[in-house]
């Protein structure tokens, strides 16, 4: 039997090691790494198609996480006694892994690529999600695929003394006030560029705050992100060591797909740029999208004789020019699509008592985004049993998120939730977790359901706001109201412009998606994804403060509607 190539490194600030092994398992995979911390082990494989499918206009990256109950010495609890659909924990790990990997592939790479993480060992102490991110990056480094890595990842827990603990165990996370996952890469100057953040307060956060633990403020989070870079760098260095010890496959020969050629772009710019500026100034989403479709059709007709058979290129060039003119207007004029300034909120309204038959309900609207949240109370025996490799075996507080096609004025499939809906629901759930009363204070199971009725920017943060409203409408004694806001950022010509309360188009055309939820005193959840290399500390600090200002303004409006739980 082949012996594996093994590299390991001590985790800075923790009495444990990060280990990568390759060469023994999954030998036909293009890249395969067994990653482990303590007794938690995951086999992560990376494979890519030799050629892109004809007509592919996006990067088809898939990340799958396969929890195996044997990893913890258990038999699955389902009727068939085998693993079925991915658990929420597995889906969250898929999303956490995808987010920093996807922007690390070159533009124009359209070959189907798949990452599979099979959880083979669980010591019930060390989480497997961050391990999967590190293992995925390591396997890609060996695969020969055009991956611009490595990517390093770390979990940080904010303890009751106000210190950040790297790679904490489950028990340490439960005893902390905040759980922070960070992924990043090494920039050309040797610094660590943050690419992805996922964070939330813990179930016992309020209890710890009442006992004197420091609040998790924007300043504390900025410090945590800075401290995370040490562990991220250690993982990156270990991956380089693995590649040096084992060697990587020959680089894959691939051809970059182009959405349009330079001649088409030049002509589209000439004939359509001014008209696209006018379209980009239409505030109402439906009207703007209709005008954009009409303009695309008109430009295709105008250029049909000059560029026969290249209609798809014309459409791609129009999208590129449209993105540029919108970004230029924001950076150079400080004016956004709907006429707002960078730090302006859209109109916000809040209502409660929408449904008479429900235990509680709240309707929150921000601009064209509208979410109805409904609360249902139940006896303790109605809690949800969990059959996964996480530390919990049940939970009494659930949040589910639904976004049907009609929320965007479209048609499409409805039914079981997709990964996006699961992820958004869990983000909103975790944002409220620190203010939820414990079982001794409130001996009920409760379920929140967010129905997205209209969408144009950050329905997940609108779900946080409407959840807070419906909980108070139903008399649940939450510790404090919670609001959330989505931020964006555009980096152009060396200038950073942070945007408050982004539209859907600003999310698509911008360089950062940054969501923050919290009370008036502390942060309860955070999610960040950036498409650019590196975010200066002062820019991040400014964005956090701008988000806090917006969150405070939203809380003021919510408090005018209902400021405390009903009796």
Per-position DSSP letters for 401-431, written without gaps between them: EE--GGGGT-----SSPPHHHHHHHHHHHHH
Angle formed at CA 517 by CA 209 and CA 373, multiple of 5 degrees: 110
Structure letter (DSSP) for residue 53: P
Structure tokens at 560: 């005018």
Which helix (H) or strand (E) segment is 46 a member of? strand 40-48
Q: Which two tokens stand for residue 334?
A: 């400080």
Dist. CA 514–CA 491, nearest whole Å: 14
Angstrom CA distances, 64 to 100, 114, 498, 564, stand at: 15, 8, 33, 42
* Cα distance between the two ends of the chain: 69
Q: What is the pLDDT along the chain (567 residues), one digit of tens a residue?
A: 788 999 999 988 788 999 999 999 999 999 999 999 999 999 999 999 999 998 888 999 999 999 999 998 988 887 788 888 899 999 999 999 999 999 999 989 999 999 999 999 999 999 999 999 999 999 999 999 999 989 999 999 999 999 999 999 999 999 999 999 999 999 888 889 899 999 999 999 999 999 999 999 999 999 999 999 999 999 999 999 999 999 989 999 998 888 889 999 999 999 999 999 999 889 899 899 999 999 999 999 999 888 898 889 899 999 999 999 999 899 888 999 999 999 999 999 999 999 999 999 999 999 999 999 999 999 989 888 888 888 888 899 999 999 999 998 889 988 888 989 999 999 999 999 999 999 999 999 999 999 999 999 889 999 999 999 999 999 999 999 999 999 999 988 888 899 999 998 888 888 888 899 999 999 999 999 988 876 777 788 888 999 999 999 999 999 999 999 998
Are 495 and 567 a contacting pair, CB within 8 Å? no
**Residue 432's Cα: distance from chain center in Å?**
17
b/e per residue 147-156 (b: at least 16 CB within 10 A): bebbbbbbbb
Element (H, E) at 555: helix 537-561
Q: Three-state DSSP class for 62?
A: strand
């Amino acid at each position: 039997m082949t012996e594996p190539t093994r590299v390991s490194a001590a985790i800075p600030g923790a009495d444990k090691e990060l280990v990568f092994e390759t060469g023994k398992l999954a030998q036909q995979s293009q890249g395969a790494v067994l990653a482990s911390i303590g007794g938690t082990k995951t086999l992560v494989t990376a494979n890519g198609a030799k050629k892109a499918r004809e007509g592919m206009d996006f990067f088809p990256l898939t990340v799958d996480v396969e929890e195996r109950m044997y990893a913890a010495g258990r038999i699955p609890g389902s009727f068939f006694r085998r693993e079925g659909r991915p658990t929420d924990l597995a889906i969250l790990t898929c999303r956490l892994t995808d987010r920093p990997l996807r922007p690390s592939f070159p533009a124009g790479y359209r070959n189907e690529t798949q990452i599979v993480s099979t959880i083979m060992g669980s010591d019930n102490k060390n989480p497997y999600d961050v391990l999967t991110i590190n293992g995925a990056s390591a396997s890609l480094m060996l695969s020969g695929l055009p991956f611009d890595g490595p990517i390093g990842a770390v979990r940080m827990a904010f303890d009751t003394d106000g210190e950040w603990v790297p790679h904490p165990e489950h028990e340490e996370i439960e005893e902390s006030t905040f759980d922070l996952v960070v992924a990043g890469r090494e920039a050309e100057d040797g610094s660590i560029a943050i690419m992805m953040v996922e964070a939330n307060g813990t179930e016992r956060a309020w209890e710890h705050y009442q006992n004197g633990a420091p609040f998790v403020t924007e300043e504390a989070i900025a410090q945590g992100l800075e401290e995370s870079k040490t562990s991220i760098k250690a993982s990156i260095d270990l991956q380089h060591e693995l590649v040096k010890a084992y060697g990587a496959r020959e680089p894959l020969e691939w051809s970059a797909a182009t959405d349009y050629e330079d001649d088409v772009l030049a002509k589209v710019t000439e004939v359509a740029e001014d008209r696209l500026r006018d379209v980009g100034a239409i505030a109402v989403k439906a009207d703007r999208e209709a005008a954009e479709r009409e303009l695309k059709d008109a430009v295709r007709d105008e250029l049909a004789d000059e560029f026969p058979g290249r209609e798809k290129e014309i459409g791609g060039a129009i999208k590129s020019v449209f993105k540029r003119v919108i970004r230029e207007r924001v950076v150079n004029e400080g004016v956004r699509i709907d006429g707002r300034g960078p730090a302006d909120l859209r109109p916000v309204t809040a209502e409660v008592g929408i449904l008479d038959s429900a235990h509680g309900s709240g309707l929150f609207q921000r601009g064209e985004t509208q979410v109805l949240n409904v609360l249902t109370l139940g006896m303790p025996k109605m809690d949800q049993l969990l059959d996964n490799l996480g530390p919990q075996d049940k939970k009494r507080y659930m949040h589910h998120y639904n976004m049907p096609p009609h929320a965007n004025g479209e048609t499409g499939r409805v039914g079981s939730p997709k990964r996006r809906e699961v992820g958004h629901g869990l983000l909103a759930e975790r944002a409220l977790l620190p203010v939820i009363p414990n079982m001794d204070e409130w001996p009920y199971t409760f379920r929140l359901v967010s129905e997205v009725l209209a969408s144009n920017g950050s329905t997940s943060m609108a779900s946080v706001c409407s959840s807070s409203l419906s909980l108070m409408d139903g008399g649940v004694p939450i510790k404090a109201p919670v609001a959330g806001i989505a931020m964006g950022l555009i980096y152009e010509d060396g200038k950073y412009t942070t945007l408050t309360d982004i539209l859907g188009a600003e999310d698509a055309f911008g360089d950062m998606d940054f969501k923050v939820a919290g009370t008036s005193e502390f942060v309860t959840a955070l999610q960040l994804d950036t498409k650019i290399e590196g975010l200066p500390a002062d820019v991040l600090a400014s964005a956090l403060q701008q988000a806090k200002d917006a969150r405070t303004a939203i809380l003021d409006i919510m408090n005018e509607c209902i400021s405390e739980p009903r009796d």
